[in-house]
Chains A and B, each alone.
Chain A
Amino acid sequence: MADSIFRKLRDGGEEGELAPALTIEETVASPFALDVSCYLLANLSSSILAGKSKSEGLVLVTFSRSPSFYLQFLKQKGIFVSSSSKWIRVLDCYTDPLGWIDQPSPGVITEGSSLIKLHKCVSDLKRLFSSIIEAGREMVGDGKTRFSVAIDSVNELLRHSSMPLVSGLLTDLRSHAQVSSLFWSLNTDLHQEKVTNALEYISTMKANLEPFCPSSDGKRNALENLFLVHQDFGKGQFHIRFKLRKGRVRVMSEEYHVDQTGINFSPISSVETIIAATKSLIPKVHFNLQLSEKERVEKEKVVLPFEHQDHGKSTEIYDGRRTLADGKTEATPLSSGELQADVVSSGKGGEIIYFRDSDDEHPDSDEDPDDDLDI
């Protein structure tokens, strides 16, 4: 299913339509948007190089990691980027976003200066927009050829500029005739819900990462959520929501697993995996909170008082008022839920008619036993 997002980004939009846009949402407890971005980056790059994509270039705008991180990652995936590569441009908003550094430090790549451009003023979004378009046109020219735009994270943008301005930038990019597709990532725990909603409105696809044991209870608990995750928290569910043109929404889900090489996707395994993961939430105490299978079977076998198995012979019940020799009482045999009016009374004394009124109640059930009182 993650493939389907990649295909939509690769194929771009129709003429006259806004470019397809993807929001990748992560949380503090499932911080893997970077891995998803890298996955898409690698796939898009391969398809551009193979000539299979509608776009002929890619502009990568980096905020949360250095350009060399992404170039190194692409190299690991077999995609080599050099200063003479004509299909990719990197706008570096990570190294010096606020212009604090007067000169570039020795570590910054200065060779192939057209490949990586340092962008020093992230709060000026108009300038950022023009830099992105300029970088794209450097690769594909001014005509009808298109390029894709990848923004690794909008968290920093939202810290320095207001949400309307950031939405404006993204919408402007989508509206530009030469932008074929666009994606960005966002950490929903860092921003108010209205910000997340606003960005979802302007995207045609939304992907979100959810750990297996979600317990989101509002932002204030996001930090606690991180420390409540399962010991090995590189796994979870990946949900994708597509907004189709006519207004329908299609939702798909799969599982993700993160390791040293990146993120991997697989179809949702049985529900048991999720249950097994959530079972670990039961507190570990020194007594059993649940019945084992054997105990459950034994419990089923117990014959309750006043219920007798129909062996055809009467059973004596001692009710404390007469001796066992006198008086026999035969109660009606019952199977659960069925009533059989077959009362036989013999001997002195009363009879006990027992109708089981409900099924066996589970332990720790929330049922209030007084619910059936008619007061």
Chain B
Amino acid sequence: MDRSVNLLDLALGLDEPSPLRGKVVLIEDCVETSGSFVLHQMMKRLLSPHSSDSLIFLAFARPFSHYDRVLRKLGCNLATQKTNNRLVFVDMLMMKCSDNESGVAKLFREIQGTVGKLRSVTNSNITVMVDDMSLLEIAATNSNSDHVLDFLHYCHTLTSESNCSVVTLNHEDIYSSMERPAYLLQMVCLADIVIKAEPLASGLANDVHGQLTVVNKGMISSKSGKGSSRNKLQNFQFRIKENGIEYFYPGCSRN
């Protein structure tokens, strides 16, 4: 029954019950270092047999079979979770959003409806995961980054009204040009937790695949105690193995 807790779990506060409830998590990655593994790790934690959380997954980047294969190696059977209604997989590759803003609005209303249905049967945490935000902008043709920000704002309202969590993945390097720095910053401002995956300053290495920086902004909390996770920044390195990820501080031996 012992779930070992790794550095990422600690940085996110996953050693506490439902720590992400009501929070927006933004994962930023770049071409050199993909942040998808963080999504997979969070999926695994959310759908583990020790929790009763539900997950709504908006897939813009890959089909279901890809995630199924990846999570199976991590010890999680997505097909079973789908049957149990713990996982609602929305395959956006097959769907087509209509033109302009109403496409994004319609997508949000569908998510809100799904959250409502899940909320009527369970009181546990519901997480909405988006892979990834840059493809949302493309999928909803004729939309622009403003519509994506509107969509993110509305997802934020879900965190307060229905006590959900929102986890999104975004590619920092696409938007980091001078014309668009504000778009990235808007997303960072909206998020309560920002996880940045980037390569090591020294370049590629065999045994260290990159570093993660976790900024946990937290909020004024109505829950007493558990005050340690507000305004913390943590940085550690990781190595992607066949069946999991190892996290460790720079220079330390791996656990």
Q: Does B194 contact A (CB under 8 A)?
A: yes
Interface string of A266-293 (1 = CB under 8 A from B): 0000000000000000000000000000
Question: In whole angstroms, how far apart are the Cα atoms of A187 and B190 in the complex?
Answer: 11
Complex contacts, A229 vs chain B, CB 8 Å:
215, 233
Question: In whole angstroms, how far apart are the Cα atoms of A102 and B116 in the complex?
Answer: 14
Q: Tell which of A28, A65, A105, A259 touches B189, judged by Cβ atoms closer than 8 Å.
A: A28
Interface string of A91-102 (1 = CB under 8 A from B): 000111110111
Q: Does B162 contact A (CB under 8 A)?
A: yes
- Measured CB to CB, the nearest residue on chain B to A189 is B185
Q: Is the CB of B161 within 8 A of A232?
A: no
- Measured CB to CB, the nearest residue on chain B to A69 is B160
Q: Does A223 contact B (CB under 8 A)?
A: yes
Q: A35-B220, A101-B109, A226-B215 are in contact. Are A234 and B185 (CB under 8 A)?
A: no
Q: Tell which of A73, A155, A187, A234 touches B230, judged by Cβ atoms closer than 8 Å.
A: A234
Q: Is the CB of B215 within 8 A of A222?
A: no
Q: Is the CB of A227 within 8 A of B215?
A: yes
Complex contacts, A96 vs chain B, CB 8 Å:
157
Q: A190-B182, A232-B231, A259-B227 are in contact. Are A159 and B146 (CB under 8 A)?
A: yes
Complex contacts, A31 vs chain B, CB 8 Å:
189, 217
Q: Does A261 contact B (CB under 8 A)?
A: yes
Q: Does B82 contact A (CB under 8 A)?
A: no
Complex contacts, A232 vs chain B, CB 8 Å:
231-233
Complex contacts, B101 vs chain A, CB 8 Å:
98
Task: Report B41 CB to chain A, min CB distance, Å.
Answer: 21
Interface string of A219-261 (1 = CB under 8 A from B): 1101100110111111000000000000000000000001111
Task: Report A103 CB to chain B, min CB distance, Å.
Answer: 10
Complex contacts, B232 vs chain A, CB 8 Å:
231-232
Interface string of B232-248 (1 = CB under 8 A from A): 11100000000000000
Q: Does A351 contact B (CB under 8 A)?
A: no
Task: Report A45 CB to chain B, min CB distance, Å.
Answer: 15
Task: Report A77 CB to chain B, min CB distance, Å.
Answer: 10
Question: In whole angstroms, how far apart are the Cα atoms of A155 and B219 in the complex?
Answer: 18
Count class of interface residues, chain A: 35 or more
Q: Is the CB of A259 within 8 A of B230?
A: yes
Q: Does B70 contact A (CB under 8 A)?
A: no
Complex contacts, B37 vs chain A, CB 8 Å:
none
Q: Is the CB of B161 within 8 A of A66?
A: yes
Task: Report B144 CB to chain A, min CB distance, Å.
Answer: 12
Question: In whole angstroms, how far apart are the Cα atoms of A261 and B219 in the complex?
Answer: 9
Task: Report A342 CB to chain B, min CB distance, Å.
Answer: 59
Q: Tell which of B105, B185, B219 touches A28, judged by Cβ atoms closer than 8 Å.
A: B185
Q: Is the CB of A95 within 8 A of B215?
A: no
Q: Tell which of B157, B184, B231 touches A223, judged by Cβ atoms closer than 8 Å.
A: B184
- Measured CB to CB, the nearest residue on chain A to B102 is A100
Q: Does B171 contact A (CB under 8 A)?
A: no
Task: Report B210 CB to chain A, min CB distance, Å.
Answer: 14
Number of A-B contacts (CB under 8 A): 106
Q: Is the CB of B160 within 8 A of A220?
A: no
Q: Is the CB of A105 within 8 A of B230?
A: no
Q: Is the CB of B222 within 8 A of A72?
A: yes
Question: In whole angstroms, how far apart are the Cα atoms of A96 and B160 in the complex?
Answer: 13
Question: In whole angstroms, how far apart are the Cα atoms of A267 and B4 in the complex?
Answer: 44
Question: In whole angstroms, how far apart are the Cα atoms of A227 and B146 in the complex?
Answer: 25
Q: Is the CB of B116 within 8 A of A105?
A: yes
Q: Is the CB of B182 within 8 A of A219?
A: yes
Complex contacts, B108 vs chain A, CB 8 Å:
100
Question: In whole angstroms, how far apart are the Cα atoms of A341 and B154 in the complex?
Answer: 84
Q: Which of B185, B186, B196, B226 has the most CB of A within 10 A?
A: B185
Interface string of B8-28 (1 = CB under 8 A from A): 000000000000000000000
Question: In whole angstroms, how far apart are the Cα atoms of A157 and B235 in the complex?
Answer: 35
Task: Report B104 CB to chain A, min CB distance, Å.
Answer: 8
Question: In whole angstroms, how far apart are the Cα atoms of A365 and B204 in the complex?
Answer: 36
Complex contacts, B213 vs chain A, CB 8 Å:
227
Q: Is the CB of B185 within 8 A of A222?
A: yes
Q: A219-B182, A258-B231 are in contact. Are A105 and B194 (CB under 8 A)?
A: no
List residues 30-44 of chain A with CB under 8 A from any CB of chain B.
Answer: 31, 34-35, 38
Question: In whole angstroms, how far apart are the Cα atoms of A222 and B183 in the complex?
Answer: 12
Q: Tell which of B172, B226, B234 touches A231, judged by Cβ atoms closer than 8 Å.
A: B234
Question: In whole angstroms, how far apart are the Cα atoms of A229 and B149 in the complex?
Answer: 25
Task: Report B57 CB to chain A, min CB distance, Å.
Answer: 21
Q: Does B49 contact A (CB under 8 A)?
A: no
List residues 44-75 of chain A with CB under 8 A from any CB of chain B.
Answer: 65-66, 68-69, 72-73
Complex contacts, A233 vs chain B, CB 8 Å:
231, 233
Q: Does A156 contact B (CB under 8 A)?
A: yes
Question: In whole angstroms, how far apart are the Cα atoms of A227 and B150 in the complex?
Answer: 25
Complex contacts, A231 vs chain B, CB 8 Å:
232-234
Q: Is the CB of A226 within 8 A of B161?
A: no
Complex contacts, A190 vs chain B, CB 8 Å:
182, 185-186, 189
Question: In whole angstroms, how far apart are the Cα atoms of A231 and B216 in the complex?
Answer: 10
Q: Does B221 contact A (CB under 8 A)?
A: yes
Q: Does B77 contact A (CB under 8 A)?
A: no
Kindly list 19 other residue pairs between chains A and B, CB separation below 8 angstroms, not including A232-B233, A260-B220.
A28-B189, A95-B161, A98-B105, A98-B150, A108-B161, A155-B189, A190-B182, A220-B181, A222-B185, A223-B172, A223-B184, A223-B188, A227-B196, A230-B233, A231-B233, A233-B231, A234-B230, A258-B231, A259-B227
Taking beta carbons and an 8 Å cutoff, which residues of A are in contact with B?
28, 31, 34-35, 38, 65-66, 68-69, 72-73, 76, 94-98, 100-102, 105-108, 155-156, 159, 187, 189-191, 219-220, 222-223, 226-227, 229-234, 258-262
| 3 nearest CB pairs, A to B | A107-B161, A234-B231, A260-B227
